[in-house]
Amino acid sequence: MNTDKLSKRLESVANYIKEDSAIADIGSDHAYLPCYAVKKGLAKRAVAGEVVEGPFQSAKKQVQSEGLGDRIAVRKGSGLEVIEAGEVDCITIAGMGGPLIASILEDGKHKLTGKERLVLQPNISAIAIREWMLKNGWKLIAEEILEEDGKIYEILVAEKGDPEAPYHHLEKELLLGPFLINEKSPAFVKKWEGELVNWRKILVNLEKASGSEENEEKKLALQKKIHYTEEVIQQ
């Protein structure tokens, strides 16, 4: 992977950047995504944000070696603290867990003006992001699921709007994704069939354990997830 040829995962993220955007890539690592976006004309300028010193230095070197220092600002800081409110109109966050992405958005929501597009790629627990959107008035407008090197990734795209609009069965679709359920792609089926195997094993262990109130709550929550997922997979 380099700034001319991204991984399948990051290229899919880049596909949702509106042309001529000002973007902020949070947790930018080597700044491959902002360099690619600027070079391809997807972004007119970019901010590459990194909280860890090593990747921050790598990003700076990458931007300098590409001769893009006048169009890409590399900044060290946590989450959205690397941008000013209104500075960008697209924010990408890729390669983290869903709960971490949700916490970055929550901690930095005072930096969001409502004019941005959010392009988010969680490695796990996309439900945490969908729940954050629902609570904070962000409308899910697109989803994608893909497999690369044996791993399955989801991409969620949102803009400010009616957060309930995409949902018809809220609890089920928060878990599985309203757009992804409709498409039911091979990657989607593979992901959730794998989750079902894990959940059933956990359920067997819970049924063997003591019948405490906490265990019963866990069992009920797990049974509900299994029911929703089986219902979609077997349709």
Tokens of 63: 């931007």
Residue at token pair 């008035």: 137
Task: Output DSSP code: residue 27.
Answer: T
Average pLDDT value for the chain: 96
Q: How confident is the model at residue 151 (pLDDT cuts 50, 70, 90)?
A: very high
Task: Output DSSP code: residue 19.
Answer: T
**DSSP for 109-164?**
GGG--S--EEEEEESS-THHHHHHHHHHTEEEEEEEEEEETTEEEEEEEEEES-TT
Distance CA(99)–CA(110), nearest Å, equals 19
Beta pairing partners, 155: 144
Distance CA(141)–CA(167), nearest Å, equals 11
CA distances from 175 to 17, 115, 124, 165, 185 (A): 25, 26, 11, 16, 16
Q: Cβ(104)–Cβ(138) under 8 Å?
A: no
Cα 35 vs. chain centroid, distance in angstroms?
A: 20
Give the model's pLDDT for residue 208.
84
Give the model's pLDDT for residue 158.
98
Q: Cβ(25)–Cβ(51) under 8 Å?
A: no
Distance CA(218)–CA(235), nearest Å, equals 26
| Closest CA relative to residue 73, chosen from 83, 81, 65 | 83
Q: How confident is the model at residue 1 (pLDDT cuts 50, 70, 90)?
A: confident
pLDDT digits (tens, 9 = 90+) for 16-48: 999 999 999 999 999 999 999 999 999 999 999
pLDDT digits (tens, 9 = 90+) for 155-207: 999 999 999 999 999 999 999 999 999 999 999 999 999 999 999 999 999 88
Beta pairing partners, 204: none
With a CB cutoff of 8 Å and minimum separation 6, the contacts of 203 are 219, 222, 223, 226
State yes or no: pLDDT of 210 exceeds 80.
Answer: no
With a CB cutoff of 8 Å and minimum separation 6, the contacts of 214 are none
Give the model's pLDDT for residue 106.
98
Give the model's pLDDT for residue 3.
74
pLDDT digits (tens, 9 = 90+) for 94-109: 999 999 999 999 999 9
Give the model's pLDDT for residue 214.
86
Distance CA(41)–CA(161), nearest Å, equals 27
State yes or no: pLDDT of 2 exceeds 90.
Answer: no
